[in-house]
Amino acid sequence: PGQMVVYLMIDIKRKNWGPRQLVSAIEDAIVATLKDYKIDSAPKKEAPGVYVQQAVGDAKIASLGLRIKQGRSFHGLALNIDMNMEPFHRINPCGYVGMAITQMATELPSQGDKKVTFQDVSANLSRHLMQCLQYTYSIELPA
């Protein structure tokens, strides 16, 4: 709970893209989504995902996990929205010792009692994914 997981099945062969183009498009969509909430973020070439700058260094707010098989992508991304962060203190996220993890609820500029909702984030992330992946048509399936 509190983490949005998005599975992307994309034929990158048909798009004439390589894996790096796909990763960059997904990261760009996450950065654009976070910008909608006034959260500054950026990807890192050496460690896929999206990060926010904190006083103690970078903290990961979104993870990517893709598999490319026969020109098609499987799996996708996980965006931390509003969750219990305690379990992350007991592991090395993505295999990186000491990597800080954060979430949108922590990084949001003060907005009073207004909370970020899955529904809003889902709509914004979907829109940005469509744009960054260069799609103009989508089908929404019931949850």
**Which band of pLDDT confidence, cut at 50, 70 and 90, is reported for residue 110?**
low
Which domains does the chain possess? 3-132 (3.30.930.10)
Q: Which amino acid is at 92?
A: N
Span of 26-30, 89-93, 124-128 with lowest mean pLDDT:
89-93
Q: Is 132 a catalytic residue?
A: no
Average of per-residue pLDDT across 98-124:
84
Q: What pLDDT is recorded for position 80?
A: 96
> Of the residues 94, 105, 108, 130, which is catalytic?
94
Separation CA 104–CA 20 (nearest Å)? 25
pLDDT tens readout for residues 1-51: 899 999 999 999 999 999 999 999 999 999 999 999 999 999 998 888 999
Q: Strands 72-80, 3-7: parallel, antiparallel or unpaired by DSSP?
A: antiparallel
Q: Enter the pTM of the model.
A: 0.89
